[in-house]
């Protein structure tokens, strides 16, 4: 009997978008460690290159590609490079995503007589909202269009999207990011159904609260140690009473990507959240 928990991605080619970032660089490293040839795609080529160098130095196979997930030509150029350097992509991780301050309100609740200069819901910038929707939703759809074409009928091919806690219940202040991640969960189910007869599975992970570049300033004071009230609220609402480590996403990610372990798992959004999404707060 094969142990489904010993993941072996030898000879698989894995493309990870947003791989210059905190979480997806760890995803890339984990796949490389499990034997995959990994393509690290990011708008920030230098960051992706740095992580690819780390993987290669550790004995893995990896290459970095500059890629804008909002520009089909750029994605197609990266794909052509990957096809030539590493081979056809078997697994796509749509990791590029994030929020933007222009689509974030200052307050959790609308109140009368807010101080002058408070950014209320009425002040949200249309271009900021569009930026967030595009980056998260289109930034998942376009790479899927480009890479899934060659995944059709390919043994073990699958796609992993990155959703979020706010997809289940929106978080205060970030309506665009919440809506966009909700769209990612929905799109994950849509893709799972659409490709179900073409041999491509599609699933998502929904990370709970982890500290990363994009949320550090929202959670901590400038000393990076003292929790802001919002950070404390998150801890209070996470039954396990702590933030997660990005390493704790890897088990779920590898499970979903592994066709031996998850051959009949299709269209799920797996929360990895210390119980946050299960807790009503009471
Ligand atoms: P990060 O900001 O560290 O990394 C995001 C990466 O995406 C960056 O390297 C950035 O250069 C790249 N990127 C941005 N725009 C791009 C574009 N147009 N084309 C290509 N690359 C682009 O973020 P992270 O914390 O590692 O998050 C990774 C994913 O996980 C995101 O989808 C995020 O929304 C999601 N997520 C994060 C958390 C968390 O707590 N960190 C929680 C839930 C979900």
Instruction: Quick: pLDDT tens for 201-231.
Output: 999 999 999 987 667 787 889 988 899 998 9
Q: Let me know: does 30 contact 251? Beta carbons within 8 Å.
A: no
Substitution candidate for ligand 1 out of 15, 16, 18 with most atoms within 8 A of CB? 18
| Band of pLDDT at residue 166, cut at 50, 70 and 90 | very high
* Token pair 């901590």 in the structure block, residue: 220
* Token pair 């010993």 in the structure block, residue: 6
Q: What distance in Å separates the CA atoms of residue 26 and residue 14, rounded to the nearest whole number?
A: 13
Within 10 angstroms of residue 225's Cβ, the number of other Cβ atoms is: 7
**Is 0.95 exceeded by the ipTM?**
yes
pLDDT at 137 over 60: yes
Q: What is the pLDDT of residue 217?
A: 82
Sorted by sequence, the CB contacts under 8 Å of residue 274 that are 6+ apart come out as: 208, 209, 238, 239, 240, 241, 242, 244
Percentage of residues of the chain with pLDDT beyond 70: 98
Answer with the residue of higher pLDDT: 194 or 246: 194
Query: What mean pLDDT comes out for the span 162-166?
Result: 97
pLDDT at 5 over 90: no
pLDDT at 261 over 80: yes
Ligand 1: nearest atom to the Cα of 67: 20
pLDDT at 244 over 90: yes
Quote the mean pLDDT of the chain.
95
**Structure token digits, residue 179:** 């809506």
Q: What is the pLDDT of residue 187?
A: 99
* Segment among 1-15, 23-37, 237-251 with least mean pLDDT: 1-15
Q: Let me know: does 193 contact 260? Beta carbons within 8 Å.
A: no
Strand partners, 276: none
Q: What is the pLDDT of residue 27?
A: 97
Q: What is the pLDDT of residue 119?
A: 96
Q: Enumerate the CATH 3.40.50.720 domain ranges in the chain, comma separated.
A: 13-208+244-274
Q: What distance in Å separates the CA atoms of residue 227 and residue 216, rounded to the nearest whole number?
A: 10
Q: Kindly tell me the burial class for residue 270, based on how many C-beta atoms sit within 10 Å of its own C-beta (0-12, 13-18, 19 or more).
A: buried
pLDDT at 2 over 60: no
Q: Minimal CA–CA distance to 57: which of 36, 32, 93, 86?
A: 32
Ligand 1 neighbours (beta carbon < 6 A) = 17-18, 20-24, 42-44, 47, 67-70, 95-98, 135, 139, 162, 164, 207, 209-210, 212-215
Query: What mean pLDDT comes out for the span 158-173?
Result: 97
Substitution candidate for ligand 1 out of 30, 96, 101, 187 with most atoms within 8 A of CB? 96
pLDDT at 3 over 70: no
Using CA positions, which residue lies closest to atom 12 of ligand 1? 18
Where in the sequence numbering do the catalytic residues fall? 177
Q: Where in 226-281 does DSSP place strands (E)?
A: 269-272
DSSP code string of 159-224: EEEE--GGGTSPPTT-HHHHHHHHHHHHHHHHHHHHTTTTT-EEEEEEE--B--TTTHHHHB-TTS
Using CA positions, which residue lies closest to atom 31 of ligand 1? 97
Longest C-alpha distance within the chain, in Å? Answer: 67
CATH no. of 13-208+244-274: 3.40.50.720
Substitution candidate for ligand 1 out of 21, 66, 179, 211 with most atoms within 8 A of CB? 21
Using CA positions, which residue lies closest to atom 37 of ligand 1? 207
Query: What mean pLDDT comes out for the span 58-87?
Result: 98
Q: What is the pLDDT of residue 213?
A: 67
**Structure token digits, residue 257:** 């990507």
Query: What mean pLDDT comes out for the span 96-118?
Result: 94
């Amino acid at each position: 009997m094969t142990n489904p928990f010993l993941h072996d991605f030898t000879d698989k080619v894995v493309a990870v978008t947003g791989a210059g970032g905190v979480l997806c660089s760890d995803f890339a490293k984990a796949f490389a460690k499990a034997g995959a040839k990994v393509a690290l795609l990011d708008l920030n080529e230098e960051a992706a290159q740095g992580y690819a160098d780390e993987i290669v130095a550790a004995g893995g196979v990896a290459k970095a590609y500059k890629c804008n997930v909002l520009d089909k030509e750029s994605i197609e150029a990266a794909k052509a490079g990957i096809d030539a350097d590493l081979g056809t992509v078997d697994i796509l991780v749509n990791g590029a995503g994030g929020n933007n301050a222009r689509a974030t309100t200052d307050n959790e609740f609308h109140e009368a007589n807010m101080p002058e200069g408070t950014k209320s819901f009425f002040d949200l910038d249309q271009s900021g909202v569009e930026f967030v929707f595009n980056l998260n939703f289109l930034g998942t759809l376009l790479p899927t269009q480009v890479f899934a074409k060659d995944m059709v009928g390919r043994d073990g091919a699958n796609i992993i999207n990155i959703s979020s806690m706010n997809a289940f219940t929106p978080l205060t202040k970030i309506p665009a990011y919440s809506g966009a991640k909700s769209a990612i969960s929905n799109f994950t189910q849509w893709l799972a159904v659409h490709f179900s007869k073409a041999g491509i599975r599609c699933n998502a992970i929904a990370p709970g609260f982890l500290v990363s570049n994009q949320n550090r300033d929202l959670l901590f004071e400038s000393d990076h140690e003292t929790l802001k009230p919002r950070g404390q609220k998150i801890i209070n609402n996470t039954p396990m009473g702590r933030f997660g480590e990005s390493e704790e996403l890897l088990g779920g990610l590898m499970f979903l990507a592994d066709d031996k372990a998850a051959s009949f798992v299709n269209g799920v959004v797996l929360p990895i959240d210390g119980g946050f999404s299960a807790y009503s707060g009471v």
